[in-house]
Amino acid sequence: MLLPKSNTPRWIVIVIDLMLSAFGLLFAYLIRFDIKVDEAVIAEEWQILSKSIGIFFAVKFLVFYTFRIHKGLVRHTSTEDLRRIFLASALSSLIFFLLGMVRFYFVDEYYLLPTSVLLIEFLASFMLLLGFRFFVKLIYLESIKVKNVEDRVLIYGAGISGLITKRTIEKSVESGEKIIGFLDDNAKLAGNRLEGVTIYHTSKLEKIIEREKISRLIIAIQEPDENKRKQVVEMCLKHNVSVQKVPSTKSWINGEFSTKQIAKVKIEDLLGRKPIRLGEEKIQEELSDEVILITGAAGSIGSGLVRQIAPYAPKQIVLLDQAESPLYDLQNELKSDFPDLHFEVVIGDIRSFERMKNVFNSFKPRFVFHAAAYKHVPLMESNPSEAVLTNVLGTRNLVDLALANEVYKFVMISTDKAVNPTNVMGASKRIAEIYAQANSIQNKTKFITTRFGNVLGSNGSVIPLFKRQIENGGPITVTDEKVTRFFMTIPEACQLVLEAGVMGDGGEIFVFDMGESVKIIDLAKKMIKLSGLELGKDIEIKVTGLRPGEKLYEELLAKEENTLPTHHPQILRAKTSVSDGSLIENVNRLVELFETQNNMIIVQKMKEIVPEFISNNSDFEKLDKK
């Protein structure tokens, strides 16, 4: 260490400051006489100065002590210290000027200090005092740095957040990193330097990684362009460069950022898309001051809807679910984040008609968002009766009660697996769609259905599963190397549900543009790299084979021949035939078959209602007509 660990005594700092002021004064005289040393001139000037040199040091001491410039820790000099030093130096010079006027007019007609010396001394002393502190700070920062640089770092974003990130890393005691440069999307910044560090354009990333041997990239842009961020991260993963990101400024502790807050990039950051622009005014007009019932409110989509709806100031939100603990957690979250929100927590099962009847009678909801459902394909393939009981009977209960209570809009959350279903879960959701759609004809209630694919981070989805498997050391299990899926974030899905619910007039099935499909095995590989692990060395991927009812490829819902456009580019309307009354009767008979607990009979009836339901990799394949 070049500096002592303990703080320097304050009296030593005062002495050094006075010595630096003396040097400043000497420098001022040298400049005044063009650095020419003439003994006669020196003697004459000293005769004048000797009578006031004591006053010079006394004033400096009193002013410095008053402004407490000696109290600041020199090694941690800040802009606040700079302000105090400037004010102290300026006040000292002003006092010298005033005392000089007094001496000239009332004592011996000499100024305390010549005017030129006074000005030069002010600038010299200020710079010396400041320079001394920053010199000590520089030595201190160099002395505490880790000498063996392990990471060569590139910061993505040459804005304020990027600059703060650079400074924070350089201040870090444990830092074994060297900032090689900034990366930015703005071509005009390329080639410039920021605090001595070069700014590179994003297009040069691969060359920079190879030439500078970059080992880590930190994303410091608060709201990056999603597509450009994906490209940057993909390039880093290709070259085994670790990728991290700076959190939102909202999560900084007391407004300050620490290197400990730099987090790994999540797979969601690679799959997310540009934020959706909603028709805020229309949603506000529809939902404001209304009673809204949300079923499955404790689930991923249900709770996401609650958070999306809360800012629109509804009269009351009724949170319905049978999951006690998640509802309790949601309740506490809402109390904290939305203290003015009026909501009621209801523990209940949508399969119980009487319980649901009581809920409708008690709260009289005007809007219903129906998100409660069983959704796990393998589990429902083994338990068809439960799929029918919840997804079909539960939906029928809610639809019938919505009609009886003249609910204005009923928005049902469905799934892409209802399209040409190959499993019981998808077929049960399609039957629920049929029942809701059939009841939209010539009724006051507007029944609207929304379909979308896999939701990132939702309960039971593949990404949380992969995360747990990685944390446990693997292996990561993938059912088939060819399996692909569409993904959407929870906020994105909920926003589109709200938009579709507002635009719907009843009877529609809206499908969402899910973007490009993703190979699940590629998803697993990226998650391994983002975790800082190496496939084949630190962790393995195991192919287990398709599960019962599972598809290799989900249906692409945005095909032009199957959909019609709407005013929102990411929401399309499915071309579906209107269900007739006989289908409603078939749905009712299906529900009655629950009593038999005979899976084959139940699934056979489901196939009659949904002719396109062709089982895949399942015991129920034998029921399909060859």
Is the pLDDT confidence value at 90 over 60? yes
Strands 563-565 and 177-184: unpaired
**Nearest to residue 126, comparing CAs of 73, 95, 81, 96?**
81
Higher pLDDT, 550 or 218: 218
* Three state DSSP letters for 424-493: HHHHHHHHHHHHHHHCCCCCCCEEEEEECCEEECCCCCHHHHHHHHHHCCCCEEECCCCCEECEEEHHHH
- How many CB atoms are closer than 10 A to CB 414? 24
Please determine, looking at this structure, whether the domain spanning 151-265 carries the CATH number 3.40.50.720: yes
**How high does pLDDT run on average in the chain?**
80
Quick one: angle between helices 581-592 and 395-404, nearest 10?
130
Window from 48-62, 329-343, 405-419 with minimum mean pLDDT? 48-62
Q: What is the mean pLDDT of residues 381-410?
A: 93
3-state helix, strand, coil in the chain (%, to 5): 50, 15, 35
Instruction: Supply the pLDDT for residue 561.
Output: 44
Q: What is the mean pLDDT of residues 571-587?
A: 73
Q: What is the mean pLDDT of residues 320-347?
A: 92
The DSSP letter of residue 418 is G
Report helix, strand or coil for 346: strand
**Cα–chain-centroid distance for residue 243?**
15
How do residues 173-208 score in pLDDT, each as one tens digit?
555 678 888 888 888 888 888 888 888 998 888 898
Is the pLDDT confidence value at 141 over 70? no
Window from 143-152, 525-534, 536-545, 546-555 with minimum mean pLDDT? 143-152
Question: How far lies 437's CA from each of 44, 481, 577, in Å?
Answer: 106, 37, 10
Is the pLDDT confidence value at 225 over 80? no
How do residues 36-88 score in pLDDT, each as one tens digit?
666 666 666 666 667 677 777 777 777 777 766 656 555 556 666 777 777 77
Higher pLDDT, 466 or 64: 466
Instruction: Supply the pLDDT for residue 2.
Output: 47
Higher pLDDT, 492 or 577: 492
How do residues 228-278 score in pLDDT, each as one tens digit?
888 888 888 888 888 888 776 555 544 455 556 666 777 766 766 665 666
∠ CA 256-257-262 to the nearest 5 degrees? 160
Is the pLDDT confidence value at 423 over 80? yes
Instruction: Supply the pLDDT for residue 357.
Output: 95
Selection from 87-91, 208-212, 467-471 with the highest mean pLDDT: 208-212
Residue with the two structure tokens 């190397």: 481
Q: How confident is the model at residue 556 (pLDDT cuts 50, 70, 90)?
A: low
Quick one: angle between helices 581-592 and 424-438, nearest 10?
130
Query: Same topology for domains 151-265 and 289-621, yes or no?
Result: yes
Is the pLDDT confidence value at 363 over 80? yes
Q: How confident is the model at residue 464 (pLDDT cuts 50, 70, 90)?
A: confident
Identify whether 145 is a catalytic site residue: no
In percent, the amount of the chain with pLDDT more than 90 equals: 21
Higher pLDDT, 26 or 425: 425
How do residues 594-621 score in pLDDT, each as one tens digit?
888 898 999 999 998 988 888 888 888 8
Domain ranges, ordered by start, for the chain: 10-144, 151-265, 289-621
Instruction: Supply the pLDDT for residue 452.
Output: 79
Catalytic residue among 417, 429, 446, 526: 417
Window from 2-16, 95-109, 156-170, 332-346 with minimum mean pLDDT? 2-16
Instruction: Supply the pLDDT for residue 358.
Output: 95
Higher pLDDT, 28 or 365: 365
Q: Which homologous superfamily is 289-621 in?
A: NAD(P)-binding Rossmann-like Domain (3.40.50.720)
Report helix, strand or coil for 543: strand
